Amino acid sequence: MTRLSVNINKIATLRNSRGGKIPSVKEAAIKCQEFGAQGITVHPRPDERHITRHDVYEIKPLIYTEFNIEGYPSEDFLKMVTEVKPHQVTLVPDSHDQLTSDHGWDTWKHMSFLKEVIARLQESGIRTSIFVDPDVAAIEGAAEIKTDRIELYTEPYASLYPIERNKAIEPFIEAAKTAQKLGLGVNAGHDLSLENLNFLYKNIPNLEEVSIGHALIADALYLGLETTIRKYLDCLK
């Protein structure tokens, strides 16, 4: 089964645009799970422009599925996640002011740093995932680092999908096969949508998890959150 983890950052973005507590990040986490999502993802950034550190601590007790926290492994981030102890931490190579994640780790260049971070997280009982491009060398580096999983950065797939879906999926199939051969679990995320999710799912066997936020929350504006989550779950069948 491929798990659907809903990234609720955009709920916090909308709340922060007005101030106050509406819409409620806590209620969103509760409802997403109630409507069938098998996980909740957040990506707290240093400027707290959407999910805040306070949100992370506040929603942890409400999550009975899986909690995935994404972020760059700064000392502040690592302190937070080792206190909160989510089920999974996904490490991304974002700069502090980056609008959204747009590339994976150079796992060989940053190997020493990532090995130290991964060991620290695993010692705290946290499953680890590294955000990577669909690149065999980067995945081989991830295996050397001894992460538990990789998360394939799927924006290139999503961009090419409307034009040539078979070409779009090819590097991701190869990447997933390489990862699984090396004993790594495979997650995927970024720009996945109702349009392109099922094709990815059908072509990547043993996909562990997809993390989806922007498109899912946008769809929910038109369809409602419950209907939208069910439609995304249908894509994983």
The single residue listed with the structure tokens 């040539």 is 164
Q: Say whether 200 sits in a helix, a strand or coil.
A: helix
Residue 227, CA distances (Å) to 15, 32, 103, 231 in order: 22, 11, 31, 6
**Residues in contact with 120: Cβ distance below 8 Å, sequence separation at least 6, in sequence order:** 78, 82
208: annotated active-site residue: no
Nearest-angstrom CA–CA distance, 61 and 84: 10
Lookup: tokens for 167: 């070409």
Nearest-angstrom CA–CA distance, 4 and 137: 27
Nearest-angstrom CA–CA distance, 217 and 4: 13
43: annotated active-site residue: yes
Q: What is the DSSP letter of 60?
A: G
Query: 66, 190, 208, 209: which one is catalytic?
Result: 190
190: annotated active-site residue: yes
Query: 66, 70, 151, 209: which one is catalytic?
Result: 70
Nearest-angstrom CA–CA distance, 171 and 186: 14
Q: Which residues of 69-80 are buried (b: 16+ CB within 10 A; e: fewer)?
A: bbbbbeeebbeb
Q: Are 25 and 12 in contact (CB under 8 A)?
A: yes
Catalytic residue list: 43, 70, 190
